[in-house]
Structure 1
Amino acid sequence: MPSPKVGVGVFVLNKEGKFVLGKRKGSHGHGTWALPGGHLEAGESFEDCAAREVLEETNLKIKNIRFLTATNDVMVTENKHYVTIWVACEMVDNQAVAENLEPEKCEVWEWVTWEELKRWAKLEVVERTDPGYRALFLPLLNIVSRKDLISKDQFQLTEETALILFQMIETKGRKCAEH
């Protein structure tokens, strides 16, 4: 197996507390649902990577980017190993719509709730034949399945835009200037 790569996954939250999720295609994890994100480039900060990837993939501009946690994601069948950095952020324009700017990599973007994501993670283990089942990309499944990493109780309301942010209980997070 090759050396691990660093990826960044981004919870882009709207004013209703939903976040954007896309159906992957054309690479590892084809057919699974994942957050916007991608590879961290040399010398790039997590926040800059998140802003760049979200803009490239969805045309959404983001701000108030906060570190959540990291996961160790070994994809045995695909012979890949990633350390995924998870961040949460708000949209600069609450009226903006997620566009599919990389149709060769993503079928569609949809806004989903934390409850929906948790349900799909549970179905991954219990019942994949359920009509509401959606296969989650392994790194996303890893963060949703681990109770010690993040939960709905960790949502907080920001004063600046009244949008919901994920925050780790013990992590203050890092705030980045608007991109």
Structure 2
Amino acid sequence: MSDGIQFYIFGYLKLIIPQIDAVNFELILGIATGNYSLPAKDWLNLFWRLILSLILGAIIGLERQLKHKPAGLRTHMLVSFGSAIFVLIPLELGAAQHNFDAISRVIQGIAAGIGFIGAGEILRESQPNGRSMPVSGLTSAAAIWVSAALGIAAGCGLWQLGLMGAILCWLVLSIFKILEPHK
């Protein structure tokens, strides 16, 4: 959208809503155009991205909590929240503008680190006679990994991607369970 059109829309909104300022206008414009980006170091932008990460993690975590899984609502919310914070740090420091690999390295580190948390969810029980039982907790580990990815999306300001990912993950966790063979 050209600057002239934005100036015209801002003037019109200023007549209707006298309290609107340039930052709120950019927020409204970003949401309306599907391109959510605000100036760096804007606390409202940071707060929105962190709240979004908590909401996206809660969508998956609530489903896990209702199924009485060990990693439930709080775990998924915190994994998503932490991932968003890790992504926001280089963005706020300006490292992403000077070194394009900064965000990539952060995302790689999150993916590897969350793998350790997911590994803690995977259990393999053995029977007294030495025979091993099937592995359990793979879905919970994958859900934790997806929660981290949703937090990364929220931290980068990609709220549409995060919301679509959370909804699709919730569908996979809740609906596709009926397709699995019963034990």
Structure 1-normalised TM-score? 0.24
Higher Cα radius of gyration: 2
Higher helix share: 2
Where relative contact order (Cα < 8 A, 6+ residues apart) is larger, the structure is 1
Structure with more strand by fraction: 1
Tell me the TM-score normalised to structure 2 length: 0.24
